[in-house]
């Protein structure tokens, strides 16, 4: 897998005509007749709010069935905290859903449990996916994962707190030293959390990777070998520890701080600067916060790239509903349906037509900086079967590298050895 995948807004063909032979006929066979598809999806709604993804999926399923009365869709939605285990248990017990929407797919693809994308969608539908996201859905150069929505990260900062600290509210810090200087000024001005560093188990792997990218590091090299304990990554975590954590510019124990906690604190006006996700834009706007955005700071200037994260849809073979799965997935990715979901939750679309629509929609102007970042975004190596376990280990442990008294070399080397062992076991 390429270390950095450059996304083009004009899609290219990702399947051959020969690969579509399985879709050439209808009538008898899997998918024909009365079918009930089981769909399991993740909830993007805010806990306690009336914006559960169940509402979107149920409405979409009902509309689809009215147009395709021979196919009904049974919708189940789980929180992100639960869906991984719930879906894993279903698959392990031999009763997977027909279609699932979650954050990984590679292990099931490697076990032969998923349909290939070219067994599900016609070529025009496949060609709609942004190129690098389609490639990121591949295992050994065969696409199994359908990108669902994506996001990138930008630096976000509180303009009022910047002004209070005597900083230019229209000039975000562009280098690590500039960020350190801003954090020091913010602390002196009494800001509760000058820099929000979420290295707790919710998404520590993402925050750490964003910082490593700013120093020329990554989790894998250009041919997909793990580089978790590279000199660049060790240096990055040492800098974080010594220049932000130890001086007290972050919360005292960032290895225990989750992203959502800091997002809520930022929206409440308690955080000066952090790396932001598109959903934070919605949260901050609801609170009437005055904020600015910028590129992620790098060691010597703005980082060349940023983190890109995608979630995935997949279709399981077990219930033999290939044709019905394909029809429903084609409906899911119709421009109006796909755009409706992305726009509802402030996320980025994964198809060319929906992305172009968002670019023209001034209601989503605040998401344009995130769209701009797609061209230089680096995605997790989700096509590696070993990534699931490696990702879990990073979430649990990588934050310890930057804590007070932490040993970045020891922490990252332990993670590297675990990743290499998992890779070897899968080969």
Give per-residue pLDDT as tens, 10-52.
333 333 333 333 333 333 333 344 999 999 999 988 766 688 9
In this prediction, residue 373 has a pLDDT band, given cuts at 50, 70 and 90, of: confident
CB 60 within 8 A of CB 332: yes
Nearest 10 degrees: Cα torsion 255, 258, 261, 266 = 70
Calculate helix-pair angle for 352-360, 335-344, nearest 10 degrees: 50
Q: Name the token pair of 126.
A: 């496949």
Dihedral sign for Cα atoms in the order 280, 281, 286, 287: positive
User: What topology is assigned to 154-307+384-426 in CATH?
Assistant: D-Maltodextrin-Binding Protein; domain 2 (3.40.190)
**pLDDT tens, position by position, 270-310:** 999 999 999 899 899 999 999 999 999 999 999 988 999 98
DSSP class per residue in 236-257: HHHHHIIIIITTTSS-S-GGG-
The C-alpha atoms of residue 258 and residue 120 are separated, in whole angstroms, by 37
What is d(CA 37, CA 399) in angstroms, rounded to the nearest whole number?
41
Q: Which of 74, 70, 91, 69 is nearest to 40 (CA)?
A: 74
pLDDT band at 80 (very low <50, low <70, confident <90, very high): confident
Q: Mean pLDDT throughout 91-102? A: 97
CB 217 within 8 A of CB 274: no
Contact assessment for residue 275 and residue 173, using Cβ atoms and an 8 Å cutoff: no
pLDDT at 112 over 60: yes
Say yes or no to pLDDT of 3 above 70: no
What integer pLDDT is reported at residue 32 of this predicted model?
Answer: 41
* pLDDT tens readout for residues 384-427: 989 989 999 999 999 999 999 999 999 999 999 999 999 998 76
- Torsion, Cα of 342, 345, 347, 349 (10° steps): 0
CA 262 vs CA 280, 386, 398: distances in Å = 10, 30, 18
Residues of the chain with CATH 3.40.190.10: 27-150+308-379, 154-307+384-426
Please state at what angle helix 335-344 crosses helix 53-67, rounded to 10 degrees. Answer: 170
pLDDT of 22 = 36
DSSP string, 48-68: TSS--HHHHHHHHHHHHHHH-
Q: Write down the CATH number for the domain with range 27-150+308-379.
A: 3.40.190.10
If you ran DSSP here, which 8-state letter would residue 14 be given?
A: -
The pLDDT tens digits for 133-175 are 888 888 888 999 999 999 999 999 999 999 999 999 999 999 9
Going through 277-358 in order, the beta strands assigned E by DSSP cover 291-294, 306-315
Residue 53 Cα to chain centre, angstroms: 17
Measure the CA–CA gap between 342 and 419, rounded to whole angstroms.
33
What is the percentage of the chain residues whose pLDDT exceeds 90?
78
Which of 77-81, 310-314, 350-354, 390-394 shows the lowest per-residue confidence on average (mean pLDDT)?
77-81
Quote the CA–CA distance of 185 and 197 in Å, as a whole number: 17
Q: Identify whether the C-beta of residue 99 lies closer than 8 Å to the C-beta of residue 58.
A: no
Ranges 164-173, 188-197, 237-246, 361-370: which has the least confidence: 361-370
pLDDT value, residue 31: 37
Identify the CA nearest to 378 among candidates 304, 312, 275, 305.
305
Q: Which two tokens stand for residue 187?
A: 């602390």
The span from the CA of 357 to the CA of 362, in Å, is 10
Can you give the pTM of this predicted structure?
Answer: 0.82
Judged by DSSP in three states, 338 sits in helix
SS3 label, residue 410: helix
The two tokens of residue 300 are 């010597």
CB within 8 A of 44, min separation 6: which ones?
Answer: 53, 345, 347
Instruction: Return the pLDDT at 15.
Output: 34
């Amino acid at each position: 897998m390429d270390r950095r995948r450059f996304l083009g807004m004009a899609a290219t063909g990702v399947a051959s005509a020969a690969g579509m032979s399985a879709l050439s006929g209808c009538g008898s066979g899997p998918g024909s007749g009365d079918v009930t598809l089981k769909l399991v999806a993740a909830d993007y709604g805010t806990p306690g709010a009336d914006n559960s993804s169940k509402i979107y999926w149920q409405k979409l399923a009902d509309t689809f069935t009215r147009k395709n009365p021979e196919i009904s869709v049974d919708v189940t939605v789980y929180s992100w905290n639960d869906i991984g285990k719930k879906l894993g248990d279903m698959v392990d017990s031999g009763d997977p859903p027909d279609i699932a929407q979650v954050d990984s797919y590679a292990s099931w693809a490697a076990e032969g449990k998923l349909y290939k994308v070219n067994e599900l969608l016609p070529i025009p539908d496949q060609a709609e996916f942004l190129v690098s996201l389609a490639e990121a859905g591949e295992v050994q150069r065969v696409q199994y994962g359908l990108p669902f929505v994506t996001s990138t990260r930008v630096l976000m900062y509180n303009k009022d707190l910047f002004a209070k600290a005597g900083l230019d509210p229209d000039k975000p810090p562009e280098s690590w030293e500039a960020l350190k200087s801003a954090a020091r000024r913010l602390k002196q001005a009494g800001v509760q959390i000058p820099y929000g560093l979420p290295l707790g188990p919710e998404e520590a792997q993402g925050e750490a990777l964003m910082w490593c990218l700013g120093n020329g590091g990554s989790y894998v090299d250009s041919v997909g070998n793990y580089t978790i304990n590279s000199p660049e990554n060790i240096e990055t975590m040492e800098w974080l520890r010594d220049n932000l954590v130890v001086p007290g510019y972050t919360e005292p124990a960032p290895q225990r701080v989750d992203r959502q906690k800091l997002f809520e604190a930022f929206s409440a006006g308690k955080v000066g600067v952090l790396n932001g996700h598109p959903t934070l834009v919605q949260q901050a706007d609801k609170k009437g916060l005055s904020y600015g955005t910028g590129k992620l700071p790098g060691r010597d200037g703005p980082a060349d790239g940023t983190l890109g994260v995608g979630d995935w849809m997949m279709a399981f073979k077990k219930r033999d509903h290939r044709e019905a799965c394909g029809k429903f997935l084609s409906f899911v990715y119709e421009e109006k349906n796909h755009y409706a979901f992305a726009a509802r939750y402030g996320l980025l679309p994964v198809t060319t037509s929906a992305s172009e629509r968002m670019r023209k929609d001034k209601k989503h102007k605040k998401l344009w900086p995130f769209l701009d970042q797609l061209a230089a975004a680096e995605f997790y190596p989700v096509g590696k079967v070993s990534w699931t376990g490696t990702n879990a280990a990073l979430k649990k442990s990588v934050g310890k590298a930057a804590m007070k008294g932490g040993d970045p070399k020891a922490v990252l080397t332990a993670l590297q050895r675990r990743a290499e062992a998992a890779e070897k076991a899968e080969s």
